[in-house]
């Protein structure tokens, strides 16, 4: 799904019909074939085509990609108690964020039952002025009917009421690619602040860079327009940052000017830890170590829980953040093998792609991973000060076993004119044999804030067994 060529949605729809007319030979066939036109946040359409027609249209000029209409699996949203946010406490983030008032939350899920008490709007204030869609119900739930607005599975009602519903005393499907993309498109048009996506892919997951991952495509277009996209946590072997849904629901009202990447950074770097000196020290709300699922009963590492268990009170005041611009994501796409033409069609940003792997390592995530450390590798990160103006942060390094880890500079000094600083982290192997993944951390602290990034490294001595 590429960036729009026209600001007028009608012109975008017309271009879709003309493309199908060229393929199918008649206006009638084109009209009966098309299911959806994506015309607000990005340009694309869903249509019923044969395999041979798919192969033919994929070669048309201007067609970025053709995605099969897959099913997606529902994921579960956790509740407030799990995040350490009792609803009636006056000093926590719920009250500081004014219970999220004037925040528009979009949910891509199975629908809701609007008659439930959770969606009662008697005590609600006026509808936010930046909401573009007409409300379809008296309880202000603007339901978009892509399959059915009624929640037959119960999942959407649960996630919606958790993220944005009223408190109720004594309360204790599958999505198709075409519908999911339509939901992203309409959410962008409607002006949502937060988009909760409790739908994901079946295991095994797509490859890390999958040109057919509709959720990733929709998320990119939403994030590039300043919408915070909250998804359920799926940890991959690279990209160890997490963005739990309820976390974004509460941080966005507190920091309305922050980018989605900044909010993600605040969530990842302020997780619950028992000791800053222990690499795998993630703890739960009971202050006990989190244990990974499975028969081994080992302490959870970054592959099990990403950054760790979110601490929303600290995330509201993280001290430092790792921000990412659209250009930063584009450089990452280049490093992962996307061509210049593919990126231009996706983003409307003309950039000559250099397939330089270090660009992938240097995407400004609040985590660092290196799955192929042979000799020495240096990565760059940039932090923005959101704490006291004149703060001094010291680096605290917990090197992964078998790895030497050096941070330069070891001190970051901010002032009125210097709010953004870049540092280097150099990794080198101290062992002579192949190794498994090992875990460490880098923490910046000013004595008040602790900004912790998970670090994962795997040492290799040969790129393939043929080199042994």
Q: What pLDDT score was predicted for residue 41?
A: 85
Using 50 as the pLDDT threshold, list the residues of the chain that sit under it.
77-78, 135-141, 147, 167-174, 204, 208, 233-238, 240-245, 249, 275-281, 465-466, 468
Task: State the pLDDT at residue 286.
Answer: 62
Q: State CA 427 to chain mean position distance.
A: 27
Tell me the residue ranges of DSSP E strands in 207-296.
228-231
Compute CA 124 distance to the chain's CA centroid, rounded to the nearest angstrom. 29
Averaged pLDDT score across all residues of the chain: 76
Q: Where in the chain do CATH 3.40.50.200 domains reside?
A: 73-318
**According to CATH, where is 3.30.70 located in the chain?**
9-66
Specify the CATH number of the domain 357-467. Answer: 2.60.40.2310
Q: Looking at residue 158, what DSSP letter applies?
A: H
Predicted local confidence at residue 196, as pLDDT: 76
The tokens for 286 are: 């009971």
Asked if residues 38 and 64 have their Cβ atoms less than 8 Å apart, the reply is no
Task: Provide the token pair at 407.
Answer: 């941070």
The pLDDT score that the predictor gives to residue 280 is 41
Residue range 9-66, CATH number: 3.30.70
Residue-level pLDDT at 85? 65
pLDDT at 99: 66
Query: What residue spans in the chain does CATH classification 2.60.40.2310 cover?
Result: 357-467
**pLDDT for position 233:** 42
The percent of residues above 90 in pLDDT, for the chain, comes to 29
Maximum distance among all alpha carbons in the chain?
71
Q: Which residues contact 27 (CB under 8 A, 6 or more apart)?
A: 17, 21
**Architecture of the domain spanning 73-318:** 3-Layer(aba) Sandwich (3.40)
Question: ∠ at Cα 342 (341, 346), nearest 5°?
Answer: 115
Helix (H) or strand (E) holding 439: strand 437-445
Tens of pLDDT along 144-203?
A: 555 455 655 555 665 666 566 554 444 434 457 787 888 888 888 888 888 877 666 555
CA 148 from centre of chain:
26
What's the pLDDT at 461? 75
């Amino acid at each position: 799904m590429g960036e729009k060529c026209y600001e007028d949605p009608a012109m975008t729809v017309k271009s879709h019909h003309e493309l199908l007319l060229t393929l199918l030979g008649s206006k009638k066939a084109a009209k009966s074939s098309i299911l959806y036109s994506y015309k607000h946040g990005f340009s694309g359409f869903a249509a019923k085509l044969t395999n041979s027609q798919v192969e033919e249209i994929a070669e048309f000029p201007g067609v970025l990609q053709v995605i099969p209409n897959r099913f997606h699996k529902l994921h579960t949203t956790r509740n407030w108690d799990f995040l350490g946010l009792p609803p009636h406490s006056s000093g926590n983030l719920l009250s500081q964020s004014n219970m999220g008032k004037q925040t528009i939350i979009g949910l891509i899920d199975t629908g809701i039952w609007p008659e439930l008490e959770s969606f009662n709007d008697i005590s609600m204030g006026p509808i936010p002025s930046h909401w573009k869609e007409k409300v379809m119900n008296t309880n202000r739930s603007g339901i978009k009917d892509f399959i059915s607005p009624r929640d037959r599975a119960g999942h959407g009602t649960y996630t919606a009421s958790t993220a944005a519903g009223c408190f109720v005393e004594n309360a204790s499907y599958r999505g198709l690619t075409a519908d999911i993309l339509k939901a992203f498109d309409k959410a962008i048009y409607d002006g949502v602040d937060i988009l909760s996506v409790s739908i994901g892919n079946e295991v095994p997951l797509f490859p890390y860079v999958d040109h057919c991952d509709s959720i990733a495509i929709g998320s990119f277009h939403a994030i590039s327009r300043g919408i915070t996209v909250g998804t359920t946590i799926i940890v991959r072997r690279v990209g160890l940052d997490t963005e739990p849904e309820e976390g974004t629901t509460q941080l966005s009202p507190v920091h309305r000017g922050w980018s989605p990447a900044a909010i993600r950074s605040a969530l990842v770097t302020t997780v619950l830890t028992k000791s800053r000196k222990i690499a795998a020290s993630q703890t739960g709300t009971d202050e006990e170590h989190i244990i990974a699922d499975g028969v081994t009963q080992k302490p959870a590492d970054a592959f099990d829980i990403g950054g760790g268990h979110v601490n929303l009170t600290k995330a509201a005041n993280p001290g430092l953040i790792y921000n990412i611009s659209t250009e930063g994501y584009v450089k990452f796409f280049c490093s992962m093998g996307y061509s210049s033409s593919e990126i231009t069609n996706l983003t409307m940003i003309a950039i000559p792609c250099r397939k330089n792997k270090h660009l992938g390592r240097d995407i400004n995530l609040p985590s660092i991973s290196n799955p192929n450390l042979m000799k020495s590798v240096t990565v760059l990160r940039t932090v923005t000060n959101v704490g006291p103006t004149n703060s001094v942060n010291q680096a605290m390094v917990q090197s992964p076993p078998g790895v030497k880890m050096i941070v330069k500079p070891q001190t970051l000094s901010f002032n009125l004119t210097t709010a953004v600083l870049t540092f280097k982290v150099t990794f080198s192997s101290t062992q002579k044999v192949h190794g498994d993944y090992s875990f460490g951390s880098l923490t910046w602290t000013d004595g008040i804030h602790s900004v912790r990034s998970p670090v994962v490294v795997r040492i290799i001595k040969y790129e393939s067994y043929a080199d042994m």
